[in-house]
Structure 1
Amino acid sequence: MERRQLEYFVAIVEHGSFTHAARALRVAQPSLSRAIGKLERELGVALFHRVGRNAVLSNAGELMVERARLVLRDLDALRAAARTVGEGAVGRVDVAATSSSALEPVISIVAELRERHPGVLVSTSSALSAAEVAAMVVQGRCEVGVCGSAERPVGPGLLAHHLRDEEFLLVAPPGTRRGDDATVSRDDLRDMRFVVTKPATATRALYDRFASSVPGLSIAAEVGDRSVVLPMVLRGIGASLMPDGWGELARRAGAEVHRFSPAESLPQWLLHRTGPITPATQAFLDTTLASAED
């Protein structure tokens, strides 16, 4: 079994067909097909069912894909470790993050890494929930994850470090008057209309808890793309609940931003799997944990 075969196999899974995988890898499709055919003969099983122009994983392929990703990650770790001698941390680290965690602390970590380890490239992938972040790390799709979750994320071979408690804020249209100048209580939310994300996000779960106990709460808009929440708030469509990483941006944009009293918060976690990791990943972990201790 060769590394190239595993790379081709994973690419077909991620792109959905031999044609799209060959285009992404910039190789001739016949070469890719021959490599996969050779791998299937070596293993004695079919890895894909060809359905029209698409490639659907067989049962054997489904069992193999997660291990293939992890093997490729481990090979990258070995290669990067050799390059590190005399060069410092170099290479790429793939980070899965929910939207609020991608804003903070990931942005601050990237900025600090650029100062300390200019040879490290951070590539982020978005996830809807903490469970999705954990799955992406366990499956080898990313090396590191950052997310908010009430419970410590768990998974086979997964390590979780508590970073901080992320605080939720009320972000309301300009001119909205609720509570005092700095804080609001749950009762202050009576009869407010909200822009919410679709179910499964931490902010939606918080809104649903409020809606079950605060009279008159209603949904003005439900969005799948969380980047449009703040623009909708600024246009007066409704208020929203946002993690504290959005606070500064929302204030600068002109929104009314209030903390809750008592505070509404959610633990934020740094995730990675056990086993070999690249020097670039180690640099990301060390920088993130050092920032959490400050």
Structure 2
Amino acid sequence: MERRQLEYFVAIVEHGGFTHAAKALRVAQPSLSRAIAKLEHELDVELFHRVGRNAVLSSAGQLMADRARLVLRDLDAMRAAARAVGDGLVGRVDVAATSSSALEPVISIIAELRERHPGVLVSTSSALSAAEVVAMVLQGRCEAGVCGSAERPTGQGLVAHHLRDEEFLLVAPPGTRLGGDGTVAWEDLEGMRFVVTKPATAVRALFDRLAASVGEVSIAAEVGDRSVVLPMVLRGIGAGLMPDGWADLARRAGAEVYRFSPPERLPQWLVHRTGPITAATQAFLDTTLARPA
């Protein structure tokens, strides 16, 4: 079995077929097909069911997909370790993060990492929930992840470090006056309209608890892209619930920002796999864990 065969196999899985994978890899499709046929012969299993021009993963292919990603990650780790001896710390680390975690602390981590190790490139991938972050790490799609979760993320071969407790804030349209001393209680929000994210996010779970407790709150808009919540709040469509990483940006934009009393917090976690990791990934982990809570 050759590394090239695994790279071709993963590319077909990621790009949804031989044609798109061949274009992405810039190889002739017959060469790609021959490499996969050879791999199937060596493994003595059929990895894809050919249905017309489409390729559908077989049960064996589904089992092998995640394992192939992990093998490629481990090979990259060995190669990076060898290069780091002679060339200094270089490489790329793929990080999965929910949108709030990508804003803070991931942006701050990248800034610190660039100062210490300019040869390290951080590539972030967005995830809707903590469960999706964990899946991306365990499947080998990313080497590390940052997410918020009430419970410690778990999984076979997964390591989770508690980073801090992220605080949720109320962000209201300009001129909105609520509560006192910059804080609000849930009952202060009675009758308000909200811009909310779709279900399965931590922010939506908080809104659902708020709505169940207060009763007299309503949804003005439901969005799939969390980056449009603040612009909608600024246009007066409704208020929003946002992690503390958005506070400075929201204030500079002119929104009113309130803390909850008592505070609403959610633990934030750094996750990664056990086993070999690249030097670049280790640098990302070390930089993240060195930051004050």
Q: Does TM, scored on the shorter chain, surpass 0.5? A: yes
Report deviation, 1:89: 1.8
CA distance in structure 1 between the aligned counterparts of 2:227 and 2:55, rounded to whole angstroms: 33
Report deviation, 1:266: 0.1
Q: Kindly provide the CA deviation profile for residues 138-176 of structure 1, in whole angstroms up to 9, marking residues without a partner as x.
A: 010000000000000001100000000000000000011
Letter in 2 for 1:276: P
Name the SS of the counterpart of 1:159 in structure 2: strand
CA distance in structure 2 between the aligned counterparts of 1:205 and 1:227, rounded to whole angstroms: 18
Residues 249-268 of structure 1 correspond to what in structure 2 (within 5 A)? 249-268=249-268
Match of 1:226 in 2: 226
Q: Kindly provide the CA deviation profile for residues 243-278 of structure 1, in whole angstroms up to 9, marking residues without a partner as x.
A: 000111000100000011110000000000000000
CA distance in structure 1 between the aligned counterparts of 2:245 and 2:145, rounded to whole angstroms: 17
Name the SS of the counterpart of 1:124 in structure 2: strand
Name the SS of the counterpart of 1:137 in structure 2: helix
Residues 195-214 of structure 1 correspond to what in structure 2 (within 5 A)? 195-214=195-214
CA distance in structure 2 between the aligned counterparts of 1:88 and 1:161, rounded to whole angstroms: 27
Report deviation, 1:215: 2.8
Residues 154-193 of structure 1 correspond to what in structure 2 (within 5 A)? 154-193=154-193
CA distance in structure 2 between the aligned counterparts of 1:223 and 1:7, rounded to whole angstroms: 36
Match of 1:98 in 2: 98
Unpaired runs of 5+ in structure 1? none
Report deviation, 1:88: 2.6
Match of 2:237 in 1: 237
Name the SS of the counterpart of 1:94 in structure 2: strand
Name the SS of the counterpart of 2:145 in structure 1: strand
CA distance in structure 1 between the aligned counterparts of 2:86 and 2:2, rounded to whole angstroms: 29
* Percentage of matched positions with identical amino acids: 84
Name the SS of the counterpart of 1:269 in structure 2: strand
CA distance in structure 2 between the aligned counterparts of 1:281 and 1:11, rounded to whole angstroms: 22
CA distance in structure 2 between the aligned counterparts of 1:54 and 1:110, rounded to whole angstroms: 40
Letter in 2 for 1:246: W
Matched, 1:121 2:121: yes
CA distance in structure 1 between the aligned counterparts of 2:52 and 2:178, rounded to whole angstroms: 58
CA distance in structure 2 between the aligned counterparts of 1:77 and 1:15, rounded to whole angstroms: 24
How much is the aligned-residue C-alpha RMSD, in angstroms?
Answer: 0.8
Letter in 1 for 2:44: G
Segments of 4+ moved more than 4 angstroms? none
CA distance in structure 2 between the aligned counterparts of 1:89 and 1:154, rounded to whole angstroms: 30
Letter in 1 for 2:130: A
Matched, 1:143 2:177: no
CA distance in structure 2 between the aligned counterparts of 1:53 and 1:108, rounded to whole angstroms: 46
Question: Cα 1:52–1:246, aligned 2, differ >3 Å: closer, same or farther?
Answer: farther
Report deviation, 1:33: 0.5
Q: Kindly provide the CA deviation profile for residues 182-226 of structure 1, in whole angstroms up to 9, marking residues without a partner as x.
A: 111111111110000000000000000000010311000000011
CA distance in structure 2 between the aligned counterparts of 1:54 and 1:230, rounded to whole angstroms: 41
CA distance in structure 1 between the aligned counterparts of 2:132 and 2:203, rounded to whole angstroms: 15
CA distance in structure 2 between the aligned counterparts of 1:154 and 1:290, rounded to whole angstroms: 22
Matched, 1:57 2:46: no
Report deviation, 1:87: 2.8
Letter in 2 for 1:122: V
Letter in 2 for 1:17: G
Report deviation, 1:227: 1.0
Letter in 2 for 1:238: G
Match of 1:24 in 2: 24
Match of 2:194 in 1: 194
Name the SS of the counterpart of 1:213 in structure 2: helix
Report deviation, 1:49: 1.1
Letter in 2 for 1:10: V
Letter in 1 for 2:185: S
Aligned length: 293
Name the SS of the counterpart of 1:174 in structure 2: coil
CA distance in structure 2 between the aligned counterparts of 1:66 and 1:180, rounded to whole angstroms: 52
Q: Kindly provide the CA deviation profile for residues 37-94 of structure 1, in whole angstroms up to 9, marking residues without a partner as x.
A: 0000111111011223322100000111111000000000000000001333210000
Residues 38-57 of structure 1 correspond to what in structure 2 (within 5 A)? 38-57=38-57
- TM value normalised by structure 2: 0.99
CA distance in structure 1 between the aligned counterparts of 2:98 and 2:50, rounded to whole angstroms: 34
CA distance in structure 1 between the aligned counterparts of 2:250 and 2:282, rounded to whole angstroms: 33
Match of 2:34 in 1: 34
